[in-house]
Amino acid sequence: MACFCVIFFFLLGSCALTNATDTETAILIVVDQSGMGDFQKIQDAIDAVPSNNSQLFYIQVNPGIYKEKILVPADKPFITLGGTNADNTIISWNDSSDIFQSPTFTVLASDFLGRQITIQNSYGSGAKAVALRVSGDRVRFSGCRILSHQDTLLDDTGRHYYTNCYIEGDVDFIFGNAASLYERCHLHSLSKENGAITAQSRGSAEEDTGFVFLGCKITGVNSGTALLGRPWGPYARVVFAYTYMSSVILPQGWDDWGDSSKQETTYLGQYRCYGPGAKTGRRVPWSHTLTAQEAEPFMSKDLIDGKTWIRSAPTKFRRFSYPNPAKIGGR
C-alpha cells in the first residue's frame, strides 16, 4: 500500500465570503406555471438576471413539474434557486447524450445555491444520462433530490457543499473532479449488479480535489450490488466517515477499474462507518481504514474552505423591476 499523507488535502486558497455587497437581501423573481409569477419558465428567470451581477438574486420556484433543460451561465453568479419542497418542485428532462450535453441542470456560475428542488434526468438505465452538472466554484445544494441512473451527478470542478440531499443512481452516479463535502446526504443505489456509487477523477498528486461523505446514509434496492467507488482518475480520492452503509455495499468496497497501477496512487477509504455494509474485514487491501489522526482533515468544512463562502439563503427581498414589461413571460 502506498504511503500517503493527507495533511495537505484540500488546501485551497482563501477567498471572501462573496463579492456581493449584501448577503442577506436579494432581488426576488417568482416562477409559477399558472402565470401568477414573473415567469412561467425557470430558464427565463435565470436569463433575466443581469450578466456579471454583484447582487443576490432569489428565484422562487412555485410547485410544479418543469420540463426544462436549465443552464446557469458563468457570468451570472449569486443566484439562489429555491422551491418550497423538493417533492413537489421538480425539474425534469430526458437526454442520454454525453456527460456535458445530457444534464438536465448545469451550473457554470459561482456562488450558486439550490434549495428544496428535485433535478431529474428521466431517460432511464443503460446510457449516460446526467441530471446535474456542477462546474462553478462555491456552489451549495441543500435539501435537494438528484435523480437518474448512470452518471447522475457530474460533480465536475470547483468547491461544492451538498447537505441533506438525496442522490439516486446505479453506475458511477457521483463522479467528477470537484472538491466536495457531502454532509447528511442519502445515497440510494439502483444497481442490480456491481454498480459504483462514486467515480472520482483526480488526475495528479498536485490537485486538491476529492469527495468526502460525512454523516451520510447509503441504501439500495438489492443487497451486495454496489461498490463505494472506483477510480476514474489515477489519483482518485474519496472518504466516507460516520456513514451508515446498508447491505447493498459489496464486501470488497472498491474496485480498481481494471488498472492495478491505480492501487498505488488512489486514496479511497472510510472512518468509523457503521451498518452491515461498513465492515472492513474483506475490503480490498489497497483501501484505507483511517485512524482518528488521518481522518481529522476530512471532518469539517475547512476541507473546502467553507467558512469563507458557505452562506444561508437570503432573508430580505426586493421585487424585481423590469426595464421592459414586454419581456415578462407568462403574462
Report, as residue numbers or ranges, the catalytic residues: 151, 172
**Grid cell listed for 212:** 468526502
Q: Residue 106 in contact with residue 165, Cβ under 8 Å?
A: no
Q: Which of 90, 48, 50, 84 is nearest to 66 (CA)?
A: 90
The span from the CA of 289 to the CA of 239, in Å, is: 10
Residue 40 C-alpha from the chain's centroid: 26
Q: 10 Å Cβ neighbour count for 46?
A: 21
Task: Give the SS3 label for residue 243.
Answer: coil
Close Cβ partners of 313 (under 8 Å, ≥ 6 residues apart) = 58, 80, 82, 113, 115
CA dist list (Å): 58 to 6, 72, 76, 92: 38, 13, 12, 21
Q: How many residues does the structure list for the chain?
A: 331
Close Cβ partners of 106 (under 8 Å, ≥ 6 residues apart) = 70, 71, 72, 132, 133, 135
The span from the CA of 308 to the CA of 17, in Å, is: 5
Region for residue 104 given its phi and psi (left: phi exceeds 0; alpha: psi -120 to 50; beta: otherwise) = alpha
Q: Which of 287, 296, 295 is nearest to 266 (CA)?
A: 287
